[in-house]
Chain A
């Protein structure tokens, strides 16, 4: 099965008790939070709404991914590395 890897940090990793997992690919970016919500009920409101999302080394806008009316929003591909990025606390 084709998959992408998704990494979780801070409050996201604690909420689901995982640091990383593989999810089925391809997945439209605008379906990512729905997919996570269905796997981990409550995560959208308690965690995801305060988080950024990266694909590779770039931040992506999950909300704008469905802005394309032609339905050609960004799609997470097999082999992509995705991360959920909560508010940071370095230093």
Chain B
């Protein structure tokens, strides 16, 4: 679906104003840390936050912006969110992963606004006693984020067009469903 950016910026709601970010939520007893921010993500921060002496496996996933979509050159990507829902969904995903995979910590951070090609748009960090839980839990968190979190990506192409993306159109290998 081709489109243009909304122009009525005079009515910019609070959740679209970068001045109101970063925003964070934590669940201290489950060691869950959630971040939505317009500034570059620092992956090390998000693994440091959750690591602990009892966690022998610490997994860090970085999703970075890609320069093509269906072989069309992508020049710019930007993300928007609705934090009232996004944080609720992120916390649900993290809590479920802790329960199902015995995770000792979960950190999820998503960047907003324009993200230059090659930079991090999402960081998922999980820690567990052993690698099995970390791998399974980390993958589950990422797949759930892709499917559910109220964040939207807009790609601007080198030929001038732009499109809002929908994750449901593609599987984890990038193939059309």
Q: Which residues of the other chain, A, contact B12 by a CB distance below 8 angstroms?
A: 19
Q: Are B6 and A57 in contact (CB under 8 A)?
A: no
In the complex, A13 Cα to B13 Cα: how many Å? 12
Of residues 59 through 115 on chain B, the ones whose CB sits less than 8 Å from some CB of chain A are 63, 79-80, 82, 84-85, 88, 110
Of residues 1 through 33 on chain A, the ones whose CB sits less than 8 Å from some CB of chain B are 5, 7-11, 13-15, 17-21
Count residues of chain A with CB under 8 A from any CB of chain B: 26
Q: Are A14 and B3 in contact (CB under 8 A)?
A: yes
**Residue among A14, A83, A87, A91 with most chain B CB within 10 A:** A91
**Closest B-chain residue to A81, C-beta based?**
B84
Segment touching A, from B26-34, B37-45, B165-173: B165-173
In the complex, A15 Cα to B4 Cα: how many Å? 8
Say whether A86 faces chain B, with CB atoms less than 8 Å apart: yes
Q: How far is the CB of B133 from chain A (nearest CB, A)?
A: 22
Q: Which residues of the other chain, A, contact B164 by a CB distance below 8 angstroms?
A: 10-11, 14, 86, 89
In the complex, A19 Cα to B13 Cα: how many Å? 7
Q: Are B13 and A88 in contact (CB under 8 A)?
A: no
In the complex, A7 Cα to B34 Cα: how many Å? 23
Q: Are A88 and B11 in contact (CB under 8 A)?
A: no
Q: Are B122 and A90 in contact (CB under 8 A)?
A: yes
Q: Are B166 and A89 in contact (CB under 8 A)?
A: yes
Q: How far is the CB of B77 from chain A (nearest CB, A)?
A: 10
**A9-B152, A14-B164, A17-B6 given as contacts; is B142 within 8 A of A91 (CB)?**
yes
Query: B: which residues have CB within 8 A of A?
Result: 1, 3-8, 11-13, 15-16, 63, 79-80, 82, 84-85, 88, 110, 121-122, 142, 145-154, 164-168
